[in-house]
Amino acid sequence: MPRKKTKHLFVTATDTDAGKTLVACAIVNILTKARKVAVFKPISAGCDNVSGQLVNHDALQLQQLANCNQPLESVNPVAFEEPIAPHIAAQTLGQKINAVQVTDLFKSLDSFAPDVILTEGAGGWRLPLGGGQFLSDFAKQTEQHVILVVNMKLGCLNHALLSYEAIKRDGLTVVGWVANCIVPMDYQQENITELSQYLDAPLLGVVPNVENAEQASKFLDKDLIEQIASSHEE
Ligand SMILES: Nc1ncnc2c1ncn2[C@@H]1O[C@H](COP(=O)(O)OP(=O)(O)OP(=O)(O)O)[C@@H](O)[C@H]1O
Ligand SMILES: C[C@H](N)[C@H](N)CCCCCC(=O)O
Ligand SMILES: [Mg+2]
């Protein structure tokens, strides 16, 4: 019997606070209807200290929506309390993060036998890990299919195009992008049209200001997302 290959989806964005968690949760919400979905927030910075355990809100939301019964430490193995650049948080504690370590942690998720592993990045595409490494190195090592969330605001054209170029230069494919409209923007549609011309990837949805991920999922193209997540047989 040919083995089904686990699909690796990586949600990145034009910046921090751009809507990665909201969109990632919306995608998990769609995919868990027919698939086993594991989630991964490899590195977080900005956590609550709950009786000594660092609890990251993004990881918690993803864990609650996924369907592989993962403990929180497997969703978010590297956590820092302060909401700052993670490698700087690591430095203040005399710790180091590297891409191979993140890749090894990712590989351990195979024990949950998922159809899809959805990873939420931290910050934007070129998040430094320290020592000249980046979270994008992990994405390369694990052959991720990238979903780019664009926070629709003035300045997003440059941010989106630079992110897209960097992902492509890293040899990875942007399998789709999402226009996330957190706040009103003048000429929003014109900006979306402009981006559609440059980004050679399907627009998975235009998400307006919503209350939660379930609402957001109603604005995503479910068929396209199912198609992206479909595993090819080896
Ligand atoms: N479409 C939207 N409508 C309303 N609020 C939104 C929308 N998208 C994101 N938000 C809110 O904006 C904030 C930032 O979004 P989110 O946490 O998803 O960003 P992020 O890219 O995951 O950030 P981080 O880099 O910290 O992981 C959150 O409070 C979220 O609820
Ligand atoms: C604290 C924040 N919400 C994220 N968890 C970390 C964002 C790091 C951004 C680093 C940078 O690119 O400058
Ligand atoms: Mg997030």
Residue 73 pLDDT > 50, yes or no? yes
The Å distance, Cα 120 to ligand 1 centre, comes to: 12
Annotated catalytic, 41?
Answer: yes
Cβ–ligand 1 distance for 110 under 6 Å, the answer no
Q: What is 7-42+99-229's CATH number, 3.40.1190.20, 2.40.30.10, 3.40.50.300, 3.40.50.1220?
A: 3.40.50.300
Mean pLDDT of 142-158: 98
Q: Closest Cα to atom 10, ligand 2: which residue?
A: 85
pLDDT digits (tens, 9 = 90+) for 151-199: 999 999 999 999 999 999 999 999 999 999 999 999 999 999 999 999 9
86 is in an annotated binding site: no
Q: Is this prediction's pTM over 0.95?
A: yes
pLDDT digits (tens, 9 = 90+) for 27-59: 999 999 999 999 999 999 999 999 999 999 999
Quickly state the pLDDT bin for 234 (edges 50, 70, 90).
very low
Identify any residues that bridge with 139 across adjacent strands, giving them in sequence order. Answer: none
Count the alpha carbons within 13 Å of 46 in the hemisphere toward its beta carbon: 12
Cβ–ligand 2 distance for 127 under 6 Å, the answer yes
171 is in an annotated binding site: no
Question: Which DSSP string do the residues of 165-217 spell out, in sequence order?
Answer: HHHHHTT-EEEEEEEE-SS--TTHHHHHHHHHHH--S-EEEEE-S-SSHHHHH
Ligand 2 site-directed mutation target among 84, 97, 129, most atoms within 8 Å of CB: 84
Q: 206: which 2 tokens?
A: 């235009």
Q: Closest Cα to atom 9, ligand 2: which residue?
A: 123
Q: What is the pLDDT of residue 4?
A: 76
Contacts of 161 (CB under 8 A, 6+ apart): 195, 198, 199
Catalytic residue among 41, 96, 107, 222: 41
Cβ–ligand 2 distance for 83 under 6 Å, the answer yes
The Å distance, Cα 117 to ligand 1 centre, comes to: 21
- Ligand 2: atom nearest CA of 58 is 5
Which DSSP state fits 17? T
- In the chain, what are the domain boundaries? 7-42+99-229
Residue 231 pLDDT > 70, yes or no? no
Q: How many CB atoms lie within 10 A of CB 57?
A: 13
Q: 70: which 2 tokens?
A: 């993962």
104 is in an annotated binding site: no
